[in-house]
Amino acid sequence: MIPAAFDYVRAEDVRTALTALADGGEDAKVLAGGQSLIPMLRLRLAAPTLLVDVGGVGELRGVRDDGDALVIGSMTTHDELMNDALVREHAPLVAQAAATVADRQVRHVGTFGGSLAHADPAGDLPGVTLALDATFSVMGPGGARDVPASEFFVDYLTTALRPDDLLISVRVPKLPGWRTHYEKFQQAAQAWAVVGVATAVRRSNGTVDEARVALTSMGSTPVRAHTVEAALAGAPATADALAEAAGRAADGTTPMSDGIASADYRSHLARVLTRRALEAATG
């Protein structure tokens, strides 16, 4: 299959990208790595009239240490996330989850920002940013603004980005003293996550001081398992307590039933995987 025809602008910098997007109107779309978009174009499930290619914009790429956080450029590839020394040290959850995205070839091209802006609820990285309370730096015609992860994912394949917005970078807090784990369940190596669980746990002695749990594929957006987090706050870091809290992982979620799994099974997996993720992050 071949995509329907479209116009193309190769942006040299953020300014030209924003101008092109503004000129392109509703049917303009940002082309990042294209690893989700191009298959959709080929199947003609999407037919933008203009693609603004930001893959070559240097200022959007790379990882910067900003004191208590990392600032990750939106065009940083999954492969770079996996291998970046700063990410591995200060945001190991991001590196771990990035390594599970698709396959090597896709990770060489696909970008952090691209997968976040695509906002597939089965994607691995949206849930991770949610668990880490990351902040999204967005630029639009009206200037720059910050959007917290909790407000970025609006609905299925829908984010707080407007058509003429560009995701510039993501600020990921360093979380010293926390341990993290991403637990992903797939039916086959190439398949999307049936359910994924991103956890971050801070503990002292035998007690969980604070825990964050974000779920992939348990609704139209990634979601935080707040009841689990509440149950864990101050709980003993014992297998029983973790299991008890994990048992509430599906509470309040609205998982889909689709060709991959039923809602029931997803809920069951959410509980099992949350327990396993917590065990890994506290063990």
Query: Which stretches of the chain bind another protein, using CB under 8 A?
Result: 1-8, 10, 31, 34-35, 38-39, 41-44, 51, 53, 55, 79, 102-106, 108-109, 185, 187-192, 194, 259, 261-262, 265, 268-269, 272-273
Q: Is the dihedral of CA 113, 116, 122, 128 positive or negative?
A: positive
By C-beta, is 5 or 85 nearer to another protein? 5
Least distance in angstroms from the C-beta of 108 to another protein: 5
How far apart are the C-alpha atoms of 120 and 36, rounded to whole Å? 9
By C-beta, is 4 or 154 nearer to another protein? 4
Strand pairing of 195-204 and 178-185? Answer: antiparallel
Q: Please measure the distance between the N-terminal and C-terminal CA atoms of the chain and give it in whole angstroms.
A: 48
Least distance in angstroms from the C-beta of 174 to another protein: 27
Closest C-alpha among 215, 216, 213, 214 to residue 193: 216
Question: Tell me, what DSSP letter sits at residue 164?
Answer: T
Read off φ and ψ for residue 147, nearest 5 degrees: -125, 120
Residues 112/125, Cβ–Cβ less than 8 Å: yes
How far apart are the C-alpha atoms of 148 and 138, rounded to whole Å? 11
By C-beta, is 48 or 127 nearer to another protein? 48
Least distance in angstroms from the C-beta of 7 to another protein: 7
Least distance in angstroms from the C-beta of 270 to another protein: 11
Closest C-alpha among 198, 116, 125, 130 to residue 159: 116
- As a dihedral over the C-alpha atoms of residue 219, residue 221, residue 224, residue 228, rounded to 10 degrees, the angle is 10
How far apart are the C-alpha atoms of 98 and 33, rounded to whole Å? 14
By C-beta, is 9 or 138 nearer to another protein? 9
By C-beta, is 10 or 174 nearer to another protein? 10
DSSP string, 43-64: TTS---SEEEE-TT-GGGSSEE
By C-beta, is 43 or 233 nearer to another protein? 43
Least distance in angstroms from the C-beta of 210 to another protein: 27
Least distance in angstroms from the C-beta of 280 to another protein: 15
By C-beta, is 6 or 174 nearer to another protein? 6
Only one residue has tokens 């945001």, namely 91
Q: Which amino acid is at 74?
A: S
How far apart are the C-alpha atoms of 94 and 130, rounded to whole Å? 11
By C-beta, is 71 or 114 nearer to another protein? 114
Least distance in angstroms from the C-beta of 233 to another protein: 26
Least distance in angstroms from the C-beta of 61 to another protein: 14
